[in-house]
Structure 1
Amino acid sequence: MRAELPLRLARTAAFAAVCVTLAALAHAVSGGSTPAPWVAALGLGAVFAPALALGGRERSTATINVALVCAQLGLHELFGGDDGTGYVAAHLHGRGFGNDVGMLLAHLTATALTGWWLARGEAALWATLRRLVRPLVLLWPPPLPLARPAATVVVRARDVPPDPALRHSVARRGPPLPA
């Protein structure tokens, strides 16, 4: 089953909001600064675009976790580069993943838990949609043909067009023959 645009937008918005919130909370809890609102909005847009491209159908747990890890890596660099001056520069914050193992473990742990949570929600959403859509499809009336064939007008018995299935049959009318 494919997701139409309203469902894709809702799923994408939920995924992007979870990614950005998770990255901002991880930075705040681990001793970093919280990102400026415009930086968070930039991160939201950066996550929203690829998530919308991937949101056309149900995704597996592995796909969701890989997308979440990639989003977290990008958001970590984006949020870590915000030094409060309004300029965002990657790797200038001095605390990259290689220098701060605690930040790496915090991101990966939160990403694994959130990925599992999003995957369970994804499976529940698609199971619910399948259960709701199937009965509706069965109740939906079949489409009527646009043009109906014209009925044959019968004036006499010999004017009846022969049915191809009955072309080789014999019609015997009358009482049964004596045995």
Structure 2
Amino acid sequence: MTPTASALRVPRAVVFATMCLVVSAGGHALAGGGLIPPHLAVLGALIAFCVAYALNGRERGVEVVLGATTGAQILLHELFGRAAPASHAMSSVEHGHSGLGMTVVHLVVALGTGWWLHRGESAVWLMIRLYGGPRPLIRLLFAVPAEVASPVWRAVPAAEVRPYGGWEILPVLRRRGPPAPRHAG
């Protein structure tokens, strides 16, 4: 594992866990399951963090990110569904957990979130490659020249001073305005 990958391991796992928790808990609350108790949210975030930390030792492809997001989404859905608060407890048919629709919604959301996370992951690794390459392009943007030549100012003698304009801009002045109308014929 490279030093860059190990330095980014915890932040990447935190982003993954946060996205999975927010999407799953938000979907659970919007579907009528009620708010998630804080201890359950922490447990779900910890589970998602551990999954992400185990997988992100290096840059991963889209199939790994989508698979991990889908797995975490299903795991969190089951965790939140089984431990619903007593005030919001419903039968699984009323809540929609057993239906095909809820499964499809979770898969679509997991695929969308996974794709978004993969694109962010690709962008981060691209930035790292650009910064650490043989001719680091990003370093060139922030490079400061070693010596900046300051302009030399000199006084212009009064004999050389003339009004602005003259023969250099006379053709331009003549061509100002719309083109002259041409008559057919």
TM class, shorter-length: 0.5 to 0.7
For residues 93 and 44 of structure 1, what CA distance do their matches in structure 2 show? 26
- What is the RMSD computed on CA atoms of the aligned residues? 2.6
Mean Cα displacement is larger for which, 92-101 or 53-62? 92-101
Q: Which residue of 2 aligns with 1:132?
A: 131
Shift of 1:98: 6.5
Shift of 1:36: 0.6
Q: Deviations over 1:52-91 (max 9, x none)?
A: 0111111111110101111011101111112325xxxxxx
For residues 45 and 110 of structure 1, what CA distance do their matches in structure 2 show? 20
For residues 56 and 50 of structure 2, what CA distance do their matches in structure 1 show? 10
Q: Which residue of 2 aligns with 1:11?
A: 12
SS at structure 2 position matched to 1:30: helix
For residues 101 and 59 of structure 2, what CA distance do their matches in structure 1 show? 33
For residues 99 and 42 of structure 2, what CA distance do their matches in structure 1 show? 25
SS at structure 1 position matched to 2:32: coil
Q: Which residue of 1 aligns with 2:111?
A: 112
Q: Which residue of 2 aligns with 1:94?
A: 92
Q: Deviations over 1:93-112 (max 9, x none)?
A: 63598722222122111111
The number of equivalent residue pairs is 133
Q: Which residue of 1 aligns with 2:80?
A: 79
For residues 120 and 113 of structure 2, what CA distance do their matches in structure 1 show? 10
Shift of 1:34: 2.0
Q: Which residue of 2 aligns with 1:175?
A: none
Shift of 1:136: 8.2
Counterpart amino acid of 2:19? V
**Aligned runs of 1:97-176 on 2, under 5 Å?**
99-134=98-133
Q: Deviations over 1:3-33 (max 9, x none)?
A: 4433100001000110111100111122221
TM norm structure 2 = 0.64
Q: Which residue of 1 aligns with 2:55?
A: 54
Which one has a larger percent helix, Structure 1 or Structure 2? 2
For residues 91 and 84 of structure 2, what CA distance do their matches in structure 1 show? 7
Counterpart amino acid of 2:92? G
For residues 132 and 23 of structure 1, what CA distance do their matches in structure 2 show? 35
Q: Indicate if the aligned counterparts of 1:19 and 1:71 stay in contact, CA closer than 8 A.
A: yes
Q: Deviations over 1:122-170 (max 9, x none)?
A: 1110000000112588x9xxxxxxxxxxxxxxxxxxxxxxxxxxxxxxx
User: 5+ unaligned residues in a row in structure 2: which ranges?
Assistant: 140-185
Q: Indicate if the aligned counterparts of 1:80 and 1:93 stay in contact, CA closer than 8 A.
A: no
Q: Which residue of 2 aligns with 1:64?
A: 65
Shift of 1:51: 1.0
Q: Indicate if the aligned counterparts of 1:36 and 1:82 stay in contact, CA closer than 8 A.
A: no
User: 5+ unaligned residues in a row in structure 1: which ranges?
Assistant: 86-91, 140-179
Q: Which residue of 2 aligns with 1:37?
A: 38
